Amino acid sequence: MRIFYILFIALLTTVQLKSQDKSNLNQDQNTEIKITKFYPNPATSLITFEFKKEVDNGKNYSFQVYNFPGKKMYEAENISSKTVIDLSNFFRGIYVYQLKDQNGRIIESGKFMVIK
Protein backbone atom coordinates (compact mmCIF):
# COMPACT_ATOMS: atom_id res chain seq x y z
CA MET A 1 0.00 0.00 0.00
CA ARG A 2 2.89 2.34 0.78
CA ILE A 3 4.26 1.91 -2.77
CA PHE A 4 0.87 2.91 -4.17
CA TYR A 5 0.95 6.20 -2.23
CA ILE A 6 4.51 6.96 -3.33
CA LEU A 7 3.64 6.33 -7.00
CA PHE A 8 0.48 8.41 -6.68
CA ILE A 9 2.37 11.38 -5.20
CA ALA A 10 5.05 11.12 -7.90
CA LEU A 11 2.35 11.13 -10.59
CA LEU A 12 0.63 14.18 -9.08
CA THR A 13 3.93 16.07 -8.87
CA THR A 14 4.74 15.31 -12.51
CA VAL A 15 1.30 16.43 -13.70
CA GLN A 16 1.53 19.64 -11.67
CA LEU A 17 4.97 20.51 -13.09
CA LYS A 18 3.78 19.93 -16.67
CA SER A 19 0.75 22.16 -16.16
CA GLN A 20 2.98 24.92 -14.77
CA ASP A 21 5.22 24.66 -17.85
CA LYS A 22 2.19 24.98 -20.14
CA SER A 23 0.87 28.03 -18.26
CA ASN A 24 4.30 29.71 -18.51
CA LEU A 25 4.36 29.00 -22.24
CA ASN A 26 0.88 30.51 -22.68
CA GLN A 27 1.95 33.62 -20.78
CA ASP A 28 4.97 34.01 -23.08
CA GLN A 29 2.77 33.70 -26.17
CA ASN A 30 0.32 36.31 -24.85
CA THR A 31 3.06 38.93 -24.45
CA GLU A 32 3.55 39.40 -28.20
CA ILE A 33 4.26 42.91 -29.36
CA LYS A 34 1.24 44.43 -31.06
CA ILE A 35 1.79 45.90 -34.49
CA THR A 36 -1.67 47.40 -34.87
CA LYS A 37 -3.32 50.14 -32.81
CA PHE A 38 -6.89 51.18 -33.58
CA TYR A 39 -9.32 53.71 -32.20
CA PRO A 40 -12.08 54.48 -31.28
CA ASN A 41 -13.53 51.17 -30.19
CA PRO A 42 -16.50 50.99 -30.41
CA ALA A 43 -16.57 53.08 -33.58
CA THR A 44 -19.50 54.92 -35.13
CA SER A 45 -18.54 56.55 -38.44
CA LEU A 46 -14.74 56.21 -38.81
CA ILE A 47 -12.06 53.96 -37.37
CA THR A 48 -8.33 54.64 -37.53
CA PHE A 49 -5.70 51.93 -37.70
CA GLU A 50 -2.07 52.78 -36.99
CA PHE A 51 0.71 50.35 -37.84
CA LYS A 52 4.24 50.29 -36.49
CA LYS A 53 7.18 51.30 -38.67
CA GLU A 54 8.04 47.69 -39.57
CA VAL A 55 4.83 47.51 -41.58
CA ASP A 56 5.35 50.91 -43.22
CA ASN A 57 8.88 50.04 -44.32
CA GLY A 58 7.90 46.68 -45.82
CA LYS A 59 5.11 47.91 -48.12
CA ASN A 60 4.23 44.26 -48.80
CA TYR A 61 1.51 43.90 -46.20
CA SER A 62 -2.21 43.67 -46.82
CA PHE A 63 -5.04 44.56 -44.46
CA GLN A 64 -8.56 43.15 -44.51
CA VAL A 65 -11.71 43.67 -42.47
CA TYR A 66 -14.42 41.00 -42.31
CA ASN A 67 -17.90 41.11 -40.81
CA PHE A 68 -18.92 38.43 -38.34
CA PRO A 69 -20.37 36.00 -40.95
CA GLY A 70 -17.07 36.26 -42.88
CA LYS A 71 -17.82 38.67 -45.73
CA LYS A 72 -14.85 40.86 -46.68
CA MET A 73 -15.85 44.49 -46.05
CA TYR A 74 -12.54 46.27 -46.67
CA GLU A 75 -9.16 45.44 -48.20
CA ALA A 76 -6.00 47.47 -48.68
CA GLU A 77 -2.69 46.40 -50.26
CA ASN A 78 0.69 48.01 -49.50
CA ILE A 79 -0.65 49.83 -46.47
CA SER A 80 0.93 52.91 -44.95
CA SER A 81 1.45 53.67 -41.27
CA LYS A 82 -2.07 55.09 -40.82
CA THR A 83 -5.33 53.92 -42.40
CA VAL A 84 -8.75 55.48 -41.81
CA ILE A 85 -11.82 53.42 -42.76
CA ASP A 86 -15.20 55.00 -43.48
CA LEU A 87 -17.85 52.91 -41.72
CA SER A 88 -20.89 54.31 -43.56
CA ASN A 89 -21.41 50.96 -45.38
CA PHE A 90 -20.86 48.92 -42.22
CA PHE A 91 -23.77 47.73 -40.12
CA ARG A 92 -23.80 47.55 -36.35
CA GLY A 93 -21.83 44.56 -35.10
CA ILE A 94 -18.45 42.97 -34.52
CA TYR A 95 -15.77 43.03 -37.22
CA VAL A 96 -12.48 41.17 -37.50
CA TYR A 97 -9.31 42.66 -38.98
CA GLN A 98 -6.30 40.79 -40.34
CA LEU A 99 -2.84 42.04 -41.18
CA LYS A 100 -1.09 39.67 -43.62
CA ASP A 101 2.45 39.56 -44.97
CA GLN A 102 3.44 39.08 -48.62
CA ASN A 103 3.13 35.27 -48.26
CA GLY A 104 -0.46 35.50 -47.01
CA ARG A 105 0.46 34.60 -43.42
CA ILE A 106 -1.62 36.38 -40.78
CA ILE A 107 0.74 38.59 -38.77
CA GLU A 108 -1.92 40.00 -36.48
CA SER A 109 -5.67 39.85 -36.12
CA GLY A 110 -8.22 41.33 -33.78
CA LYS A 111 -11.74 42.58 -33.53
CA PHE A 112 -13.56 45.85 -33.14
CA MET A 113 -17.16 46.93 -32.73
CA VAL A 114 -19.31 49.27 -34.80
CA ILE A 115 -22.29 50.94 -33.11
CA LYS A 116 -24.76 53.15 -34.92
Do residue 74 and residue 106 come from a single domain? yes
Percent of the chain with pLDDT over 70: 66
Q: List residues bridging with 79 in a β-sheet.
A: none
Expressed in angstroms, the distance from the first to the final Cα of the chain is 68
Q: What is the mean pLDDT of the chain?
A: 79
Do residue 27 and residue 40 come from a single domain? no
pLDDT of res. 110: 95
Do residue 86 and residue 64 come from a single domain? yes
Do residue 53 and residue 13 come from a single domain? no
Q: pLDDT tens, 71-113?
A: 999 999 888 888 999 999 999 999 999 999 889 999 999 999 9
By residue range, what is the domain housing residue 6? 1-31
pLDDT of res. 20: 47
Do residue 20 and residue 43 come from a single domain? no
What domain count does the chain have?
A: 2
Do residue 59 and residue 27 come from a single domain? no
CATH number assigned to the domain comprising residue 54: 2.60.40.10
Q: Which of 7-16, 28-37, 102-111 has the lowest mean pLDDT?
A: 7-16
pLDDT of res. 36: 87
Do residue 48 and residue 24 come from a single domain? no
Do residue 49 and residue 64 come from a single domain? yes
Do residue 24 and residue 73 come from a single domain? no
Do residue 24 and residue 66 come from a single domain? no
